[in-house]
Amino acid sequence: MTTDAATPLTALDVMRDAPVIPVIVLHDVRDAVPLARALVAGGIRMLEVTLRTREALECIEAIAKEVPEAVAGAGTIRSAADAQASALAGARFGVSPGYTRSVGKACHDLGLPLLPGVATGSEIMLAQEDGYTELKFFPAVQAGGINMLRAWGGPFNDVKFCPTGGVHAGNAEEFLALPNVACVGGSWIVPTEAIAAKDWARIEVLAREASQLRR
C-alpha cells in the first residue's frame, strides 16, 4: 500500500497495513520525527498520535511534512473541532475513544477515515447506521476482551475491530487470531521511558517485533 498523501485511504487500509497501530503520546515536538522514522524503519507506518498533549497537533504536522513514508493519524478525537484541527495538521486518519454522530459526520465530511471507539452492541449499531464498519474496541481488555469479540462475531460478523486498551506483546497474537480482528492498538512499542531517553533504536526493535506478529 502506498503512503502517498495524494492517495485516499480507507479505514480498512489503515487496519490492514500492519498488525499493530502504535498509540503515541508526545510531549516534545522534537521527538516526533525521529520516533516516526524509527517506527517506519521497524515496519510500522500507521501512527496514531493521541490528542492528549498540547503538542500533539504540532507533532502530527511535523510527521506529515518530514516523514513521507509514515501515515500520521490523530487519536483521542472527541469532537468535530478535534477532527477539523487534526485534518488541518495533516492527519490522514482518526481514532476516537467513543462514538458520536457529530464526530462521525465531521470525519466523513473531511474525508478523514475514522476508527470509532465502541464498547457495547448499541454503540456498534449506531456506528454502523452511520456507515462505519471498521471499529476500535476500547477499552478492549476491560470491556470483555477476547470473549466479547468472540460473542460479537455472530451478530456483527460484517465488522472488523482494532482492540485497544490492555493489549500488549504477551496477548496481541491471541487477539489477532480472531477472524473479526484486523489489527490491534497498543502503546508497548512506544514506551514512555524510551521516548524520554530518545532510544529510537529500541523503538525500532519493538516496532519490528510488532510488525511480525501473526494474524
Residue 4 domain-assigned?
A: no
- pLDDT tens digit sequence for 11-65: 999 999 999 999 999 999 999 999 999 999 999 999 999 999 999 999 999 999 9
Q: How many domains does the chain have?
A: 1
CA distance 142 to 86: 28
The rounded radius of gyration (Å) of the Cα atoms in the chain is 16
Residue type, 32: A
Q: Is residue 6 part of a domain?
A: no
- Choosing from 134, 136, 160, 204, the catalytic residue is 136
The CATH number that applies at residue 109 is 3.20.20.70
Beta bridge partners of 82: none
136 is catalytic: yes
Which pLDDT score, from 0 to 100, does residue 8 have? 86
Catalytic residue status for 134: no
Domain limits at 181?
A: 11-211
Residue 190 lies in a domain: yes
Beta strands in 51-163 (DSSP E): 71-75, 93-95, 114-115, 117-118, 134-137, 160-163
pLDDT tens digits for range 140-199:
999 999 999 999 999 999 999 999 999 999 999 999 999 999 999 999 999 999 999 999
Percent of all residues in the chain with a pLDDT value above 90, rounded to a whole number: 96
The pTM assigned to this predicted structure is 0.96
| Peptide bond preceding 155 in cis form (omega within 30 of 0) | no
